[in-house]
Amino acid sequence: MREKQANLSAFDYQGGKLVTERLCKALDAKNLSELSSILNIPTSTMSTWHKRDLCPYEVVLRAHMYTGVSVRWLTLGEGEAFPNRGDQEDSNLIFDIDSYKILNGELISQKPLTLDTSILGDTSVLNVMAVFDSDCTYVIDRDTRKAVSGTYLVDMDGLFSLNKIQRLPGKKLAIGFNGSTLTVEEDEVKVVGRVVLVMEKN
């Protein structure tokens, strides 16, 4: 007979300004207006969080899924924002990273991919994720969320894709789509991360 499950008491979650300030740090947002743009949430909603001292649990989970930021740090103020980064300083360290495949514009979670940090070479990035597409595995730096030039994992209207992007004057982006190029406004595209390594199957 199974032993009785221990009670899982609720944590004393923090909310309001404490959480939004941590979200700003984790997402490199200078202020609430920038955070609002990154999260696609009105600043008025954030003001409500502040007034009522609410914890935006969905946003916390979203930030964790995108960047790997600690949920405990965001909601309780305990530990480090990115606790795994310090453990990854050893150049020979093997670690698991979140992995996905893109199906009909959705990110579908896969088994974690095990990497040796030496594979990343001189990229000097450790907050990474992997996306499997055809015969290639794309390793993506989740700390890069502004497109300049290269291949990026992007979110457009809630649909994910890997695209080559070149920044243009006037806060515009030239995005490659199956051999053609489309010019869009910068705020029409959410950058999830930049591809720093492509591994092809032999």
pLDDT tens sequence across 138-185: 999 988 889 999 999 999 999 999 999 999 999 999 999 888 999 999
Ramachandran quadrant class, 38 (left: phi over 0; alpha: psi -120 to 50; beta: rest): alpha
- The larger pLDDT score, comparing residue 7 to residue 192, is at 192
Q: What percent of the chain clears pLDDT 70, i.e. is strictly above it? A: 86
pLDDT at 178: 82
| pLDDT(128) > 60 | yes
| pLDDT(119) > 80 | no
CATH 2.10.109.10: which residues of the chain? Answer: 89-200
Contacts of 202 (CB under 8 A, 6+ apart): none
| pLDDT(88) > 70 | no
| pLDDT(12) > 80 | yes
| pLDDT(78) > 80 | yes
pLDDT at 91: 43
| pLDDT(118) > 70 | no
Rounded to whole angstroms, the Cα distance separating 108 from 60 reads: 19
Rounded to whole angstroms, the Cα distance separating 102 from 92 reads: 30
Rounded to whole angstroms, the Cα distance separating 125 from 154 reads: 19
CATH 1.10.260.40: which residues of the chain? Answer: 17-81
What is the architecture, at CATH level 2, of domain 17-81? Answer: Orthogonal Bundle (1.10)
| pLDDT(191) > 90 | yes
User: H helices within the chain, ranges in order?
Assistant: 17-26, 32-39, 43-52, 57-67, 71-76, 83-87
Give 65's pLDDT tier (boundaries 50, 70, 90): confident
- Mean pLDDT score, 31-59: 93
pLDDT at 56: 95
Which position has the token pair 């290639």? 136
Strands 94-103 and 128-133: parallel
Tell me which fold the domain 89-200 belongs to: Umud Fragment, subunit A (2.10.109)
